[in-house]
Amino acid sequence: MKIGVFGTGGVGQTIGAKLVELGHEVMIGTRDVAKTMAHTEPGPFGQPPFSAWLKQNPGIRLGSYADAARHGEVIINATSGTGSLDALHQAGDENLNGKILIDLANPLDFSRGMPPSLTVSNTDSLGEQIQREIPQVKVVKTLNTVTASLMVNPGQLANGEHHIFLSGNDPVAKARVAEWLATWFGWKYILDLGDITTARGTEMYLPLWLRLWGALGTGLLNVRVVN
């Protein structure tokens, strides 16, 4: 399958590498290809610069947001939450039209120090903003409640017995995404919360998630819903 992944950070890299490993044709989208390739400094967690990572992952192509959107039968938004709307506007309506957008982003604001706050919350969410501003896509919010390595490999933790959530207005799109989560990554517990307004719930879970990370000393954590 042809997949466009927006965002060159750790989440985009982890998702992109896993999808290529599964045999998909991945193009990663960025704002400015030349600038992205010119970066030489390591990332915020000491990871190699994107150009070095790309050299180690020759199956992955890099293009503009518009290129990646045109390439993808499905688009995955792995940009930072504060850059997501800009990236999607740059992608061009004609390249997005009718496609499923899997939105992994969280509207985290690190500008006021740690722990971050949310730039949108409570009566709105990033997922809703994207769906409102880009009505051409079918937004399915998911995977935003776990760290990148867990997104693509839930089985590494508690035998995969923990939950991932889905929010979105289109039941058919949600069903397809649920199938991909199961077949691509091995998610066993997928819970459909309802329409895109339920993204408020999963985005507002982030402050708790960050505190759980602090308390447990690891971001390799998730919740299992029991009822």
Minimum CB–partner distance for residue 79 and a second copy (Å): 21
Residue 77 — φ and ψ, nearest 5°? -90, 105
From 158, 172, 179, 183, residue interacting with a second copy (rule: CB under 8 A): 158
Q: Is residue 201 within the footprint of a second copy (CB under 8 A)?
A: yes
Minimum CB–partner distance for residue 225 and a second copy (Å): 6
Which of 165/185 has CB closer to a second copy?
Answer: 165
Residue type, 2: K
Which of 25/192 has CB closer to a second copy?
Answer: 192
Give the length of the chain: 227
Q: How far is CA 92 from CA 12, 58, 66, 122, 132, in A?
A: 20, 27, 6, 29, 15
Q: Is residue 202 within the footprint of a second copy (CB under 8 A)?
A: yes
> Does residue 9 contact residue 43 with C-beta atoms inside 8 Å?
yes
Give the sheet arrangement for strand 100-103, strand by strand: 61-64, 25-30, 2-6, 74-77, 100-103, 138-141, 163-168, 189-194
Q: Is residue 39 within the footprint of a second copy (CB under 8 A)?
A: no
Applying CB under 8 A, the residues found at the interface with a second copy are 112, 117-118, 121-123, 157-158, 161-162, 165, 191-194, 198, 200-202, 204-205, 207-212, 214-216, 218, 220-227
